A and B are shown apart, each in its own frame.
Chain A
């Protein structure tokens, strides 16, 4: 080959060296190795598995291009590889964070769900509490109503008892009064009998009061009530007798008396007239027996002619049945 051949080979060799191979300590080769390591780490990381697939592929392509680039292209190839490896790392991290973000949204939903569940529970508890409270109040009200009703029944019973007792007491009082009346009547009868048996027994007679008096001008009028005589009869009752004796004690023997007997309007006029006459004379006899002279006493029966009140009522008739003793 000679000199030309040697020159050609040398130039070819230089060209190849310049074009393809680079020295082991070339900074470009060092950086390429570093980028390669970073990309390998990205591929190996389990947390970043299947993240940023496209970006990692582009980075790998760029790194491969660096290996085969001519020296004058190596700077450019390295620039691209550098940018793309970094971009792949960033994209992978971003994807992880995006997944975390979605997870945080789900977490937030769970928190809100839990909160509303607890709220519902609390509301349920509150409702139960209020329900129990209402029940308790109802029971209390029921109990009070029953107690009030029982009390009312008790009161009614006790008031009924009181009424019964009062009634009892009244009956008792009535019975006692009746007893007293009967006893008094018995005593009067007894004393009347005694008086009849021994006339002139003054001690019994002076205990009766004189008949009620009213003044009529200069005269005094004493009135014996209708009860002085039995109904339809002309016999003086012992009490009337006694009161006439008291009258004599009161006025003395020197007075002039006019005895007028009256009846009510029941029955015929003539009968009433006759009865009243008999009564007047009975009174006169009693007064004479007491001690007044017969000449001083004039007895007249007036019948039903001079009523003092209306005869329509029983009370009126009772008042009209009277004997008036006019002291002049």
Chain B
């Protein structure tokens, strides 16, 4: 092997490495900072979903959110900030789904109760009084 061939290999490898790194790294941040904002947002979302559960059914989404949040907190402790950010984002999404489900359920219950209420009112106020005459 001549010196010129060795130099060409190194350069190609460097080029390849650089290209791979560039392509692989494109769109992904080198998340070295702890994702505090994301964690806070995730925590708030889960709390809101917890409160909503009293009024309606949240189900599996809330369990998911709790689980992801726990994993995020775990990752934060181990300084795996990229993972933590990701998990927190997922926790928040699940918590928001749980909240939406709870609101949906509560709204359905409210409509059913009001339908029953109106039917009873109709019976008592409109049907019976004329019958009694």
Residue ranges of A at the interface with B (Cβ–Cβ < 8 Å): 4-5, 7-8, 11-12, 15-16, 19, 55, 62, 68, 70, 73, 76, 79-80, 83-84, 86-88, 90-91, 93-94, 97-98, 100-101, 104-105, 107-108, 111-112, 114-115, 118-119, 122
Contact = CB atoms under 8 A, between A and B. Distances in A.
B93 A79 contact: yes
Contacts of A91: 100, 103-104
B21 to A, nearest CB: 10
A118 B107 contact: no
A79 B90 contact: yes
Given A5-B12, A7-B12, A104-B118, 17 more contacts: A8-B15, A8-B19, A12-B23, A15-B19, A76-B86, A76-B90, A79-B93, A80-B90, A84-B93, A87-B93, A97-B107, A101-B111, A104-B111, A104-B114, A107-B118, A114-B125, A118-B130
A15 B23 contact: yes
B115 A104 contact: yes
24 contacts: A4-B12, A11-B20, A12-B19, A15-B20, A16-B23, A19-B23, A55-B100, A70-B28, A73-B27, A73-B28, A76-B86, A79-B93, A80-B90, A83-B61, A83-B94, A84-B93, A84-B97, A91-B104, A94-B104, A97-B104, A104-B114, A108-B118, A115-B129, A122-B133
Interface of B: 8-9, 12, 15-16, 19-20, 23-24, 27-28, 61, 86, 89-90, 93-94, 96-97, 99-101, 103-104, 106-108, 110-111, 114-115, 117-118, 121-122, 125-126, 129-130, 133
Contacts of A86: 61, 97, 100
Consensus secondary structure, chain A interface: helix
B44 to A, nearest CB: 16
